[in-house]
Structure 1
Amino acid sequence: MSEYPPIAEHGLIGDLQTSALVATDGTIDWFCSPRFDSPSLFASLLDSEKGGHFTTRPHVATFDTKQLYLPDTAVLVTRFLTEAGVGELIDFMPATDEVARERHRLVRVLRCVRGAMEFDIEIAPRFDYGRTPHRLTVGEDGAVFVTDALTLALSVIRDPDDARLAHVEQTDDGDLRATVSLREGELRGIVLETGPDVEAAPIPVAEGRRLLDDTTKYWQDWVEKSTYTGRWREEVQRSAITLKLLTYAPTGGLVAAPTAGLPEQIGGERNWDYRYTWVRDASFSVHTLVRLGFVDEAIAFGRWLRDRVVEPLDSDTGPLNIMYRVDGDPKLSEEVVEEWEGYRGSHPVRIGNGAADQLQLDIYGEALDAVYHLDRSGNVIGHDGWTAICRMLDWLAENWQQPEEGIWETRGGRKDFTYGRLMVWVAFDRGIRLAATHGRPAPVDRWTEARDAVYDEIMEKGWSEDRRAFVQQYGDTVLDASLLKMPQVGFISPHDTLWIDTLRAMEEELVSDNLVYRYNPSASPDGLQGSEGTFSLCTFLYVDALARTGRVEDARLTFEKMLTYANHVGLFAEEISATGEQLGNFPQAFTHLALIDAAITLNARLDGRNPE
């Protein structure tokens, strides 16, 4: 196992309640259970010695490896090529849309497709971020790793007359090592099951094949629901599958990413925990999913959002938090795993997120825009939901002029961010439209007055004559790529000279070989040390803006170049470094949302149509 494989050298598997990363050398180096936001069992990606891992690889010292997904699925295949033969490691988690389960299965099927191959297996779990010791028991049917809070059972996929795992060895640390020898056409495997009282049990090969077939069919049936038929279909479908993998099915909450602590700068301190549901990110997913035809997923998040709106917080930051746990719990204290060195020395490793109680006014616009798009797709909000929306907009009418922390969750104090005001305008605009469409009782005159006041303020204070551009915050000249959404949300025409000038200014300062920085930290101190790479979300927003502005060929070239930065299975992390390395938590939902939106918008403009 490489000490720290590149972030991009991973595929993602999951069961719609949690997920795991599988490196191209066959190592599972990130896995939390029973939920995305639960403590880790395998986390060598954040500490190669103390994090825990599950390795499966050829016994020989030298081998080539390839990785791919079975078409239109979340079933990941890692192929090993040696002089003696070719083997495959097929990783997946049986998926279900059922209610929350305590038990979760991770399946690793081993198959020899040519010649012969001997696999080395090492299972070294480290429970609760390596802070809880475990006990190991090995029996005829497998092995069990036990802690007071969680049990991990290892069952072997084999037929009754097969030999058991050969050369099984228990280490002093309570880990397990074994080898499996296969000839061409043979199949075996391992099933890891987590839960409070799971046990090891023999699994016939036929059952292993059935699990694989059922999981493959689940994903292929789901992808068939897509209504998208335009260009870049493969990239769009892979992004849609990734978003589905990042959705906590019992509530509909979408996590920003399945990982924590992966750095925005190698060796730096910008290492955050993204395993939670941001109102902003998940709200954007509604329009994206509706555009693809995945209305059920959009409705599920709509219910999650409704529950947050109907049961407002008792907080001085308003009726909504910016993020929640996947079950809607707003309590998200931040701590540091001091014992871990972090990915390639990127310390601190943060668990939880201290930005949860920040004031970010833009989330109200994103939430109302999600409700608006759900309404347009035929999912009209009920009376309780409408009452809660009115209460939320009334609060916003009283508080929209407050300084805030902004979309990028900076830790340099509250400011008057233009993007926050932009989305406040969206909140009032969508509320007014919903009231008019359905004749709902609402203080529309008050909302209209507030909406128009926000508009006038942005035009007066958010515009800089010196820069000939809309700027990040009032009274400053710093640019911010989040404002690429201005024409997308309908605030300004993409052909307005003010917007054309803004786009030109962004290209001069924020765009580097078609990749886009979100802002310049040296020009706008954000309370953190170090720098960061280009922000992949912003590059796809740039594509969308170019297409809407009429620069279709520029948009197409930028989009095609951006696709070359995807990893080998089409996944994107949060950022891209100056050398093209993927940085930050992986894969990032926001990036894949923006990829889909950019593809749909660009495809429409190439066909001579206006985007939806």
Structure 2
Amino acid sequence: MAEDFPNIADHGLIGDLQTAALVDTNGTIDWFCAPRFDSPSIFGSLLDAERGGFCSIRPTGADYVTRQLYLPDTAILVTRFMTEAGVGEVIDFMPVADGEATDRHCLVRMVRVVRGTMEFEAEIQPRFDYGRVPHEIEAVPGSGVRFSAGQQSLTVHRVGDPVIHDSRRAGHIELSGQGLKITGTLNAGEMTGVMLESGGVPPQRVDEDELFERFQETRRFWRDWNNRSTYRGRWREMVARSAMTLKLMTYAPSGALVAAPTAGLPEQVGGERNWDYRYTWVRDASFSVYALLGLGYTEEAEAFVQWLMDRIHESVGEASGPLKIMYRVDGSSDLVEETLDHLTGYRGSSPVRIGNGAADQLQLDIYGEAMDSIHLADTHGLQLPHAGWAQITEMLDWVCDNWDTPEEGIWETRGGRQNFTYGRFMCWVALDRGIRIARLRGRPASIERWTEQRDAIYEQIMTKDWHAERGAFVQHDGTDVLDASLLVMPLMGFVAPRDPMWLSTLDGMDEELVSDSLVYRYNPSASPDGLRGSEGTFTLCSFWYVDALARSGRLDEAQLVFEKMLTYANHLGLYAEEIGLTGEQLGNFPQAFSHLSLINAAVNLDYQLDHGSGFVDPVLSKGRRMT
């Protein structure tokens, strides 16, 4: 039933740079996978309230209201409970597991009362492998409980003195069904907590001082990381929160960025557009390089570029092309799609899918996004070694041979291949950036051939993909449908932002795709995508719209649209993939593309407001062009 599920927006995100968890405003962890983002879930009640598993902490015996916030400049989440008897807080965080991949991941839930008295109950009900396999329970008196099922396990460490002398402390622990409950009472100034750990570790007693020490270490890490940002613009709080959200979705051992930490959250409640986003899309992560460099996070950008180059190296010579559109966080490409028929899905939205069948699609735009990120890194001093350049030349030769091949396109439609304009123009970007690097660095390359094919793409788009009657660039040749992905054309330098052809296209999008500040990616009724149902507006496209307005000289509109978009964030500043008719968040949450496009729009809009709308790219202008 719908009342069993919180709103998608009613969540905060915590993580340790290898996996993450969602905590709702009632203090329930209803999504957690371990040991990685793309591992099977241990807590998954977000997709099935009965079978999914959860970890909850909340007051008992009294009505309460809740408020949720992040500790300033950190990814530490505070859920506040307010009752007539007192005010309590649950402080959730994951100590950072940066560096080597590990099976051990820790969820710390500190409980404290700041005013009056609070009776509380913690309930831990793990369900392993998406709730598909039973688990064993091992209770160790005085130390805690371990739950295990095959390769997965979860240990609940006992917090505090195993002999309870004061009944006001969290004193009573009992097994409950396939989990356990902890109940007790705290007065103002008292603290206890729950510490959960994956990876098969034995239960042990943990005192409150150790919990607090882990809290201090985690707070220092996030504050130090946040202080590295060079952004000093108008929207510091929202940009900083978006940057930390992207960091939380980065798998530190490889540098890969997942599209979202969740699977199966619907683009339409009750519909079938329920995808698994716990993987790294070349497209999304490539755009993240622009965002990270715009904020001064050079190390993170460099880590992703290295991850990308490793993928190109592995794939050169494959018949399917030099790159797949997505990978697991470790770089492997086994993403076989299956459905979890035993789960009801979020508010009845089924099927629930894991894996992703779009992984083997041909989407030509990824080559442009990949090369743009490599070129951008190059302008910031992150130059390619010889072996890397050799791989790039092979990839661009492949683009020359295949850019005019029908494909599935950026939106991963399942309605058949088309000659999508966005894919074509991104192939232009790929060749253009390759030519720029070759000329600037004096690298050997088939520059004459690349230039010939780049110009051929340009001419084709200007003739076949320009719809004279509509006065606009359209989704693909043979249609009159508009597509919001083309909002990137001026950002990538394909068209001048005040070219009459572009201004006419933007006017057409204003009329057909824009609803106040919100932007639909295309009109699905006019362009069948092979799926039933409808969807909301795309937050990514809305922030692209901000940038397009600013570059086209409509600065007042751009700033107003941006400010309106900020009102659609949830209470913590987080965005899903889409926004519904009544402002609700839809799709997997939080969404990396939404946050990186917010950062890019903020950086670009700041620059245009300070200097006047024009053609200079603020991120490129900060690059160190090495000669």
TM-score bracket, shorter-length normalisation: over 0.9
User: 1:78 aligns to what?
Assistant: 79
Do structure 1's residue 328 and structure 2's residue 331 form an aligned pair?
Answer: yes
Percent identity between the aligned chains? 61
Paired position in structure 2 for 1:455: 458
Q: CA deviation at 1:313?
A: 5.8
Q: How far has the Cα of 1:147 moved from its partner?
A: 1.5
1:294 aligned to which of 297, 300, 317: 297
| Structure 2 residue aligned with 1:156 | 158
Query: Given the alignment, which residue of 188, 194, 201 partners 1:190?
Result: 194
Task: Note the alpha carbon deviations across 1:71-106, whole angstroms, 9 max, x for none.
Answer: 110000000000110000000000132110110001
Per the TM alignment, residue 568 of structure 1 is displaced from its structure 2 partner at its CA by 0.3
Change (3 A) 1:533 1:421: same
SS of 1:169's equivalent? strand
Q: Distance in 2 between matches of 1:392 and 1:588?
A: 29
Residue of structure 1 aligned with 2:550, choices 547, 556, 559? 547
Q: Deviations over 1:402-448 (max 9, x none)?
A: 00000000000110000000100000000000000110001100000
Alignment map for 1:29-428 (pairs within 5 Å): 29-139=30-140, 140-159=142-161, 162=164, 165-172=170-177, 174-195=178-199, 197-312=200-315, 315-428=318-431
Counterpart-to-counterpart distance in 1, 2:176 and 2:454: 65
Contact 2:327/2:335 (CA < 8 Å) preserved in 1? yes
CA distance in 2 between counterparts of 1:60 and 1:549 reads 58
Shift of 1:56: 0.6
User: Contact conserved, 1:156 with 1:188, CA < 8 A, in 2?
Assistant: no
Partner residue in 1 for 2:621: none
The runs of 5 or more residues in structure 2 that have no matched partner are 619-627
**Equivalent runs, 1:502-517 vs 2, <5 Å:** 502-517=505-520
> 1:171 deviation in Å?
2.8
Asked if the contact 1:159/1:205 (under 8 Å) is kept, the reply is no
**Residue matched to 2:624:** none
- How far apart in 1 are the matches of 2:452 and 2:71? 54
How far is the alpha carbon of 1:157 from its aligned partner?
Answer: 2.6
Matching residue within 487, 498, 520 for 2:501: 498
Q: TM-score, normalised by structure 1?
A: 0.98
Contact 1:605–1:611 (Cα < 8 Å) also in 2: no
SS of residue matched to 2:48: coil
Which consecutive unaligned segments of at least 5 residues does structure 1 have? none
Q: Please state how far the C-alpha of 1:142 moved relative to its aligned partner.
A: 1.1
Q: Is the 8 A contact 2:170 2:192 kept in 1?
A: no
Tell me whether 579-588 or 148-157 shows the greater mean CA deviation.
Answer: 148-157
The one-character-per-residue Cα deviations of 1:218-242 (angstroms, maximum 9, x if unpaired) are 0000000000001000000000000
Letter in 1 for 2:490: P
Distance, in Å, in 2 between the alignment partners of 1:570 and 1:496 is 35
Q: Which amino acid aligns with 2:215?
A: L
Contact kept, 8 Å, 2:62 with 2:83, in 1: the verdict is no
Distance in 2 (CA, whole Å) between partners of 1:162 and 1:488 is 63
Instruction: Please say which of residues 404-413 and 204-213 is displaced more in the overlay.
Output: 204-213
User: Partner amino acid for 1:345?
Assistant: G
Query: What displacement does 1:314 show?
Result: 5.9
The one-character-per-residue Cα deviations of 1:164-199 (angstroms, maximum 9, x if unpaired) are 853323233x2111213111101111110000x311
> Which letter maps to 2:144?
G
| One-letter amino acid matched to 1:414 | R
Aligned-residue CA RMSD in angstroms?
1.2
Displacement of 1:385 after TM fit?
0.6
- Give me the whole-angstrom Cα distance separating, in 2, the residues matched to 1:439 and 1:605: 33
TM-superposed CA distance for 1:22, in Å, is 0.1
Q: 1:587 aligns with which of 564, 586, 590?
A: 590
Give yes or no for contact 2:30–2:53 (8 Å, CA) kept in 1. Answer: yes
Q: Secondary structure at the match of 2:393?
A: helix
- Whole-Å separation in 1 of the counterparts to 2:370 and 2:617: 21
Q: SS of 1:565's equivalent?
A: coil
Q: Which contiguous aligned blocks of 4+ residues in structure 1 show a shift greater than 4 angstroms?
A: 159-165
Aligned length: 610
- Counterpart of 1:101, as a letter, is T
Q: How far off its partner does 1:161 sit?
A: 6.3
Q: CA deviation at 1:382?
A: 0.5
Say if 1:313 and 1:448 are closer, same or farther in 2 by CA, change over 3 A. closer
Contact 1:313 1:321 in 2 (8 A): no
